[in-house]
Structure formats: structure tokens, C-alpha cells
Amino acid sequence: MSTLKELCSGLTLDPLPPNRGRDPSISHAPVRTPNLTVVEERLALRNALRYFPSSHHATLAAEFAQELRQYGHIYMYRFCPAMRMRAYPIDQYPCRTRQAASIMLMIMNNLDPAVAQFPQELVTYGGNGQVFSNWAQFRLVMHYLSEMTEEQTLVMYSGHPMGLFPSLPSSPRAIITNGMVIPNYSSRDQYEKMFALGVSMYGQMTAGSYCYIGPQGIVHGTVLTVLNAGRRYLGSGDLRGRVFVTSGLGGMSGAQAKAAVIAGCVGVIAEVDEAALRKRHEQGWLMEVTSSLDQCIKIIREFRSSKTPLSLGYHGNVVDLWERLALEYERTGDLLVDLGSDQTSLHNPFSGGYYPAQLSFRQGSQLMSTDPSRFRSEVHESLRRHVIAINKLADAGMFFWDYGNAFLLEAERAGADVGKAGGGATEFRYPSYVQDIMGDIFSLGFGPFRWVCTSADPQDLAITDEIAATVLEEISANVTERVRQQYDDNIRWIREAGKHQMVVGSQARILYSDQKGRVCIALAINQAIADGRVSAPVVISRDHHDVSGTDSPFRETSNVYDGSAFCADMAVQNFVGDAFRGATWVSLHNGGGVGWGEVMNGGFGLLLDGSEEAAKRACLMLNWDVSNGVARRCWSGNANAYETIQRTMEENSQLRVTMPFPVQDELVLDRALQG
């Protein structure tokens, strides 16, 4: 078993480590189908070998070529560490600066087998959300970070460490870009080739930015989404006896089971992959499991009647489940589902993100690599069936929303009936959860704020939980009714977080907060570190899925209606602004959530160490990190964002935002255009 010191020593070359191949006891990524030409295969191999001295090329070339042909990518399994990957306490990392150690901790958490979806393929979540492209990159990054000073910055090009470059102590210690491809070449097919060549990478959101905290983040977001869906569609936040049907129990979607129970409803989640379903059941997040549709319907009726919260995993295809629910309604007139959504990985529909109902899981896995064209046709047929069943139930009174996984976008491309008469470019028959449920939260400045206790001590997490709850309770006493509801939901969440056993991997916590809440929590935690109440530094971060971090016309910015929904200035400005306002590291990604070429998003990590400098950085950066997006949403015509940024300017005399003058009289436009 190697040590952290050995892990950070760079590439092991003399001798080469043994090639243990793939670990059969863990899940592995689906075989990729880049369809490389002979010339491109040579280039992929040449690119992989340049990490190693030529004396090793003969040995490594053969096994790298085999990996490329067998798995569609060169992962360099030989260099996968033997030691357990996890978030070790920050003081155990060999380094010259704690800022570098904090990045190392977050990287290893992203690759922890308890956290990562396909750890040996360096995939954290979403089926293809890479931390790095290969294990040589991981080892080089850990080595660079161990040697870095506070006058250097690590530059990352889509998983590849370009090196350490001189910079200022105030500069970020790492600048990360993933998938920065010339727009005309940012297609799904081009991506598969570029990833196979080792020149670009899909970092999802928090996979390639080293900020994933396990499924806790999506549990919290899903709880808020389901609660707010109940308030909006059903007229109540009391979801006892209400049935929520969805799909997916993977790295992100697996949170739906836990979230349904916390929200108080009957959650029924379909999953084709038995390993993913079994993992959630063993984890305790799925209360019951069945592969029988008859049994599934029976359990739904029973728990719906008793109004008892439940998470039920259906081992089968969600299309079959939706069709059976539609058949039950046709036969009995009994609508067994109130709320519906979907979390299959449709950002990646043809490489394992969506399995057609016509095929078994095994048949689908084989077909996607042996006959990609036919597999694509099967996916499209399945999506059309999927939508037909949902439409029948929606016509009967079920409320369905797109969960930002590109379900409606891919269904439309498959020819399914999801169009909206008179709708704009980002509108479908069913709303995105951002448009209908979460959009107003973003315009109020609320989004997923998170922190990680680098001591790895649960006691530190408990203390920071109490700090955050106290801060929110103090602020909530002096806010508007609309904002208070959001505070109340998050105070309840943080007070009950320990009871729900949310921690998987690092000692982390997430909550949704607005600008004032984020700043006050960060400053209070920083003071607790200075006072010794918290024993080690704390990393603060957020999901890229936030107020300012993401330009995504089919998700985060789907409720922007001034024509700028397809513009990415906000996310790019956020990345740059966070960098020079004090972030420890920043990242900017093509893709994430909805898919490659469909979104630009960015994130940050900031180390709180109890110093006055850390407090200054947190205050300056967090204020910008929220105000940027609220200002953009205000300019687009959002009334809630207008009120929010107006109030923020009143509290901060240095903030001056260009405010819109909305057209009050539509006749002015009519007369001008008719003249």
C-alpha cells in the first residue's frame, strides 16, 4: 500500500508499477465509441506516450493500444494508485502551502470509490464527468501541488497539467478549463474523438473542478425542488400521500430516493442498472426494491393510502413503469402519480446515459458499442414511447417537469410530442424546473453554497452546521416573506442534516443561501477557525448550477427571455471575476448537466484558514459571485432580480448596476413597427 508521500512523488517509472488492470469488484464506465481512423488511433497513442520517457514506450504502447481498442479511451490503468482514494485530513498531505493541500484533498474525494461513479475511469458522476483524462495526469497534478509555493499557479488544460507558472500570492493556486473548444467544433461526435485523443475533456460541473461532495448536494436540491413543486402545482408543501415518479439511481440521480422521504412523499424511482440500485438500497436510501410492476403498483397504492413516506426502487426501465401507470389510469380511472420527472443522463444519451425500453440492460450495453447507429435509433424509439405515456398521465392531471438533464431536448430531437405552441427556443410542453420551480430562487440570489471541513472530523462539521443555522436564523428575522420561505426551508434542512446522515466522502455540507447568507456564514466559519472552535481550515464552494455560475438555455438560464439565453458572458465573467477577487482555484467548463456544447459553466474553491486575508477574500468574492448573476437576470427583465439587486445596491454603496427601463406600453412598439 503506497502512502500520500509516494502518491505525490510523480510518475513511478523505475520500475514501472505493475499493471493490475481493471478492478472487477467496482463499476466501470461504458465502452466509448470514438470511431477513430487509423491515423487518429496513432495520434491518440502518440499523445498518451508523451507523458513518459521513450525508454518505456515499447512497453506502454501495446497496453495503451489495447485500452483504446477495448474501452475507447486510454485510461492508463497501470498508474491507478493502489492506496485507498479518499479525503485525508489536510495536515497529512505533503505540501508547501495549505491552499495546495486543500485542492489535493478535494481531488481525492472526487475519486473516492464511495463517492465516484466509475473511480478507475476517473469519472465522478453523470456517466462521463471526468476529474482527469488518465492516471498520469492525476499523478502529475498531485506532484505539482505538493511542490507548489504561494507564488505559483497550476494551469490545467482539460485534465492536462500544463505546469506551474509564476504568479502572485493573491492569485488562484489553480486555473482549470475543461472542454474549451472552438464553437463550430463543439459537437458530440467531435467530443468523442477529442477525448479519445486526450486533448479535451468533459468535466461535468463539479467533477472537473474538484468540488463534488457526493450525492448530498443533489439530495438537498431535490428536496427543495419537490417541496416547491408541491407548493406550486398541488397548492401545499405537505406531500404526505403524494406520489413522485422519476428515474435514475446513479451518482447524482441516486439522491432522489433520499430526497423523496425527507420531503414526505412516496418516491418511486426506476433504475435499469442493478448495481446502482443495490448500492442505494445498501446505503439505506432506498427503503424497498422490486422488479415486479404488479408489486410496484400494489406498494404505491398501499403507501399512498396510509400517507407514509417511502422510497421504492423499481428495477426496470422507467418507460415500462410510465406505461403501466398510464394503463392503470385507463383501466381504473385512478391516477396513481401526482408529480413526475426524469434524471436519466440524457446529456449523454448514446453512451450509457439512457437505455432503451426495447432492450435489456445487458443488450443495450452491448449494442451501443457494436452498432452505435442502431442503438441511437432504439434510444429515439424509447424516448417517443416515454413521452406518449407521460403525456397521457399529464392530460389526466399529473404535473411533470424537466430536471435539467436534457430529457425534453433529446425527446424533441427524437421526434416526440413535447413542443409548446407559440413557445420560444427554450420552451417545451413541460417546463424546466428552473423555469417553473427554481428560477425565482436564482433571481432572489439563492443557490447551492457548500463547505468541506478539511480536518475530516465530524465534530467540526457539527460545529459549522450550528454556525450556519444560527446565522440564517438571525438574518431571516429581517427579510421579506418571499425570502423567508427560502430561509425557513434551509434552516430546517441544516438542523436535520445530521439526522439524515448525508455525508458520503468528505465532511461536507450544502445549503441554499442568498448573497448575505453566504458571506455571513463564510465569515462566521472563518472566525471559528481563528478562535480554535473549528480545528482546521474549511473549503467553501458551490455547485456550478447556481445564480451566476452557469449559462444553460435549457436549464439555469431557461427563464431568461430577452434573447440572451444562448449567450455565455455571465459564466465567463464569473470565472474571471472570482479569480481576481480571491478564489483559491477557479474552473470554466463546456458542458455540464445538459451536455457538451449546450452549456458554459464555472466554479471555485476558496480556503478559509482563520486569517483576516481569508475573510477579505471571502467577502469580496462571494458578493461578486452572486451579484453578477442577479444583475444579469435583472437586465433580462426579471422583477424579483430587479428588487434583489436594488436592495443589494442600497446595502453596498460601491455596487452600481445598470438598471433596465421596461417598456410600459406595448402600443409604442406596435406603432413604431407599423410605421
Quick one: which H or E segment has residue 144? helix 135-147
pLDDT > 70 in the chain, percent: 99
The single-letter code of the amino acid at 669 is: L
Count other C-beta atoms under 10 Å from residue 443's C-beta. Answer: 25
Q: What is the pLDDT of residues 629-668, one digit of tens each?
A: 999 999 999 999 999 999 999 999 999 999 999 999 999 9
Q: Which residues pair with 154 in a beta bridge?
A: 164, 174
Residue with cell 412523499: 265
Distance CA 201, CA 221 (A): 26
- Which cell goes with 137? 495526469
Distances (CA, A) of 300 to 132, 260, 280: 42, 13, 19
Q: Phi and psi (nearest 5°) for 453?
A: -85, 110
Q: What pLDDT is attached to residue 1?
A: 44
pLDDT tens per residue, range 436-445: 777 678 999 9
- Enter the pTM of the model: 0.89
Region 285-311 average pLDDT: 96
Distance CA 398, CA 154 (A): 50
Q: Is the dihedral of CA 615, 619, 622, 624 positive or negative?
A: negative
User: Other CB atoms closer than 10 Å to residue 156's CB: what's the count?
Assistant: 26
**Pairwise pLDDT comparison (414 vs 425), residue with the higher score:** 414
Quick one: pLDDT at residue 251? 66
The HSE-up count of residue 81 (CA atoms within 13 Å, CB side) is: 26
What are the cell numbers at 120?
478507475
What type of residue sits at position 308?
T
Model confidence pLDDT, tens digit, residues 448-496: 999 999 999 999 999 999 999 999 999 999 898 888 988 998 998 999 8
**Confidence band (pLDDT; 50, 70, 90) for 131?**
very high
Are 438 and 493 in contact by the 8 Å Cβ rule? The answer is: no
Helix (H) or strand (E) holding 621: helix 612-635
Confidence of residue 433 (pLDDT cuts 50, 70, 90): confident
CB 86 within 8 A of CB 112: yes
Q: Which residue has the higher pLDDT, 187 or 175?
A: 175
Question: Span 497-522, mean pLDDT?
Answer: 92
pLDDT one-digit tens code per residue, 248-266? 887 667 788 888 999 999 9
Q: What residue type is assigned to position 391 of the chain? A: N
Q: Are strands 447-453 and 399-400 parallel, antiparallel or unpaired?
A: unpaired
Mean pLDDT of the chain: 94
pLDDT of residue 439: 62
**Residue 173 DSSP symbol:** S
Lookup result for grid cell 464552494: 541
pLDDT tier at 330, thresholds 50, 70, 90: very high
pLDDT tens-digit map of 340-383: 999 888 888 998 889 999 999 999 999 998 999 999 999 999 99
Amino acid identity, residue 19? N
Burial state string for 452-485 with b = 16 or more CB within 10 A and e = fewer than 16: bbbbbeeebbebbbebbbebbeebbeebeeebeb
* 218 has a pLDDT exceeding 90: no
